[in-house]
């Protein structure tokens, strides 16, 4: 498996504890796109991008279809990561999962 330390370190900038099992699950799910500089990042200023996060990750993977709840979590994470020009997708998804209290849903 890939070295997850860079992802763990990035996530640790935004949260007090990092669930390494969740990092591994997200890495496995995102491995095919993490090498693509454009796809590896989330642009909070791009509404289409955020709709994709909501549809492809929050609705499909986390099974949360409440758009208001999903949008609120995305907004919180965008605010947390606002100083980071390159918002790593794995870190972003991790923080969304944490915000929505769905870590167990991804790791069980």
- Is the predicted pLDDT of residue 1 greater than 70, yes or no? no
Dist. CA 68–CA 58, nearest whole Å? 12
- Number of domains comprising the chain: 1
Q: What is the pLDDT of residues 54-107, one digit of tens each?
A: 999 999 999 999 999 999 999 999 999 999 988 999 999 999 999 999 999 888
Helices 89-99 and 67-80 sit at what angle, rounded to 10 degrees? Answer: 120
pLDDT of residue 46: 95
Within a 10 A sphere around the Cβ of 50, how many other Cβ atoms? 18
pLDDT of residue 19: 96
Closest CA relative to residue 27, chosen from 10, 44, 13, 49: 10
Range of the domain at 34: 5-107
For the record, the structure tokens of 4 come out as 């997850």
Dist. CA 50–CA 73, nearest whole Å? 11
Of all residues in the chain, the percent with pLDDT exceeding 90 is 83
Q: What is the CATH number of the domain that holds 21?
A: 1.10.238.120
- Reduce the DSSP state of residue 108 to 3 states and report it: coil
Dist. CA 79–CA 81, nearest whole Å? 5
Residue 105 C-beta-side C-alpha neighbours within 13 Å: 16
């Amino acid at each position: 498996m890939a070295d997850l330390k860079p992802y763990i370190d990035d996530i640790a900038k935004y949260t007090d504890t990092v669930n390494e099992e969740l990092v591994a699950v997200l890495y496995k799910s995102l491995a095919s796109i993490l090498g693509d500089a454009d796809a590896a990042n989330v642009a909070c200023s791009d509404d289409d991008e955020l709709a994709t996060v909501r549809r492809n990750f929050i609705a499909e993977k986390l099974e949360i279809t409440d758009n208001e709840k999903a949008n609120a979590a995305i907004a919180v994470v965008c605010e947390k990561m606002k100083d980071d020009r390159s918002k790593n997708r794995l870190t972003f998804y991790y923080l969304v999962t944490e915000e929505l209290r769905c870590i167990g849903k991804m790791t069980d």
